[in-house]
């Protein structure tokens, strides 16, 4: 555990104001990946200048792609085409970014060179067989550790073949990995999802002029086409906005407007769940920007009520559950989550870590194998450990709005992986939060 950064949140307060949270992490990753293998120059605005997305950017620079920026969210990528990447001089270090590792494993499987993917301690514990096994069915050659974790050693091949793959779990990262491999595979690659997941890769491939066939819960891609460079305007990340959607809902006398937030229908589970709990959330100025829908979101204080969370909404809010657990702790009655086993293999075991932390704050929270049962009530103060998980750290910071005493959150350095402006924006809206190093 790293104690390099500690958050201390003073109890109570309100959130008020109007902000724009940083760019969407998923779209920022994909803007670099697709811009690099497109033909022509891609101009990106709103790029998320956080460690995860920067890891992807650095990896493509290491493979010979000329990339200018980021400068105030602006990035220019001089694409090299599908066959223009060059062998990196050493391993590609991807930090804490599971998206980078899983998506690049598919792309690099079909290259003419070998590559090695490494990450930090947290990323090196995350399951990679979910991508390496279907890639092996496509004739990819990827070595992992004995337990199926990173580092990954990829032997590039021109012999990839398309497959029809029924995904055992709903995962946009697995789907995107196989679509990227499909760009280089002989024949058709078809992926069937058990439940809808974010579809940014499909939208952006189509935006670059690459044909994708979507039918129900299936998506198909065939090699042999080209990607054309486009301009990409990255909307604000709904996963980052989620902390303030919950914060303004649970704090008294709060009113917050979040501008230019991406509301892709595969990502709005957080809004649907909060509305089911009685949240006062209004979307205005809905518009389409570069193939993605965005809106301004206005949220006000409300008395939330406990619910049984519909399982079909789980994949559409998978990254937002840490802060939704905080909402449940402030709600009247009982909230039950099932069907969320995937939370156990994120940057941390988010079910167990959140249950432990909530219990430290005297919340009645019970971890289950695939979710949690939370009985809403008072939140006391105390000390919690985020286990290096950025979303856990930010969720417990938001809990301070309803706590009776200060909350101290340890091991918060990885907030920089997704939302380096969290402290400044949260403070601007009214959260009494301070950062210190021991």
pLDDT of residue 3: 58
Cite the DSSP H helix spans in 138-268: 172-182, 200-207, 238-250
User: Does residue 183 share a domain with residue 308?
Assistant: no
- Indicate whether 175 belongs to any domain: yes
State the pLDDT at residue 289. 86
Q: Measured over all CA atoms, what is the biggest interatomic distance in the chain, rounded to whole angstroms?
A: 61
Domain that holds residue 46: 25-233
Q: Which residue has the tokens 């039950």?
A: 336
- One domain for residues 263 and 346: yes
Please tell me whether residues 221 and 272 are part of one structural domain: no
Are residue 301 and residue 384 in the same domain, yes or no? yes
CATH number at residue 246: 3.65.10.10
Six-digit token pair at 53? 């997305």
The helix (run of H) or strand (run of E) holding residue 296 is: strand 292-300
User: Does residue 327 sit within a domain?
Assistant: yes
Tell me, yes or no, whether 1 lies in a domain.
no
The answer to whether residues 402 and 324 belong to one domain is yes
Tell me which residues of the chain have a pLDDT lower than 50: 1-2
The one catalytic residue among 52, 319, 389, 411: 319
Confirm whether 418 is domain-assigned. yes
Provide the pLDDT for residue 232: 96
Asked whether 185 and 136 are in contact (CB, 8 A), the reply is: no
Q: Let me know if residue 42 belongs to a domain.
A: yes
Q: What share of the chain is helix, strand, coil (3-state, %, to 5)?
A: 35, 30, 40
CA distance 23 to 47: 5
**Rounded to the nearest 5 degrees, what angle is found at the Cα of 389, between the Cα atoms of 9 and 266?**
105
Can you read off the two tokens belonging to residue 215? 């039918």
Final residue belonging to a domain, choices 195, 210, 233:
233
Domain count, the chain: 2
Task: Kindly state whether residue 395 falls inside one of the protein's structural domains.
Answer: yes
Q: pLDDT digit string (tens) for 425-437?
A: 999 999 999 998 7
Residue 224 within any structural domain of the chain? yes
Q: What is the pLDDT of residue 1?
A: 40
Alpha carbon of residue 233 to chain centroid? 18
Give the per-residue pLDDT at 405: 98
Are residue 73 and residue 16 in the same domain, yes or no?
Answer: no
Same domain (yes/no): 55, 75? yes
**CA distance readout (Å), 289 to 57, 134, 258, 260:** 23, 33, 16, 10
Active site residue 389: no
Q: Read off the DSSP letter of residue 370.
A: T
């Amino acid at each position: 555990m790293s104690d390099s950064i500690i958050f201390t949140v003073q109890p109570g307060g309100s959130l008020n104001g109007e902000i724009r949270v940083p760019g969407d992490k998923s779209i920022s990753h994909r803007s670099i990946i697709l811009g690099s293998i497109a033909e022509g120059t891609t101009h990106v605005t709103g790029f998320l200048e956080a460690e995860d997305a920067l890891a992807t950017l650095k990896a493509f620079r290491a493979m010979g792609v000329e990339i200018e920026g980021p400068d105030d969210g602006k990035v220019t990528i001089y694409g090299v085409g599908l066959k223009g990447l060059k062998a990196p001089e050493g391993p590609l270090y991807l930090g804490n970014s599971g998206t980078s590792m899983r998506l690049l494993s598919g792309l690099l499987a079909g290259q003419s060179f070998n590559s090695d993917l490494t990450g930090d301690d947290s990323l090196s514990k995350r399951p990679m067989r979910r991508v390496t096994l279907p890639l092996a069915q496509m004739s990819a050659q990827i070595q992992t550790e004995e337990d199926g974790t990173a580092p990954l050693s990829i032997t590039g091949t021109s012999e990839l073949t398309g497959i029809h793959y029924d995904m055992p779990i709903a995962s946009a990262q697995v789907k995107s990995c196989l679509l990227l491999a499909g760009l280089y595979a002989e024949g058709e690659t078809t992926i069937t999802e058990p439940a809808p997941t974010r579809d940014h890769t499909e939208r952006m491939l189509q935006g670059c002029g690459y044909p994708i066939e979507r039918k129900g819960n299936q998506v198909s891609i065939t090699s042999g086409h080209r990607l054309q460079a486009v301009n990409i305007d990255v909307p604000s990340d709904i996963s980052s906005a989620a902390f303030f959607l919950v914060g303004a809902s649970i704090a008294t006398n709060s009113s917050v407007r979040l501008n230019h937030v991406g509301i892709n229908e595969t990502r709005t589970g957080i809004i649907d769940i909060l509305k089911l709990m009685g949240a006062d959330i209004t979307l205005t100025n809905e518009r389409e920007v570069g193939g993605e829908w965005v809106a301004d979101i206005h949220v006000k204080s409300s008395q939330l009520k406990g619910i049984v969370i519909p399982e079909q909404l789980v994949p559409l809010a998978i990254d937002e559950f840490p802060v939704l657990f905080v909402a449940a702790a402030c709600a009247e009655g009982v909230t039950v989550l099932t069907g969320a086993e995937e939370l156990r293999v994120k940057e941390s075991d988010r079910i167990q870590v959140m249950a432990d932390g909530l219990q430290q704050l005297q919340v009645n929270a019970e971890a289950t194998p695939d979710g949690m049962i939370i009985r809403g009530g008072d939140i006391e103060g105390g000390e919690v450990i985020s286990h290096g998980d950025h979303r856990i750290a930010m969720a417990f910071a938001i809990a301070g709005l309803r706590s009776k005493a200060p909350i101290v959150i340890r091991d918060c350095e990885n907030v920089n992986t997704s939302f380096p402006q969290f402290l400044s924006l949260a403070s601007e809206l009214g959260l009494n939060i301070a950062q210190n190093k021991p």
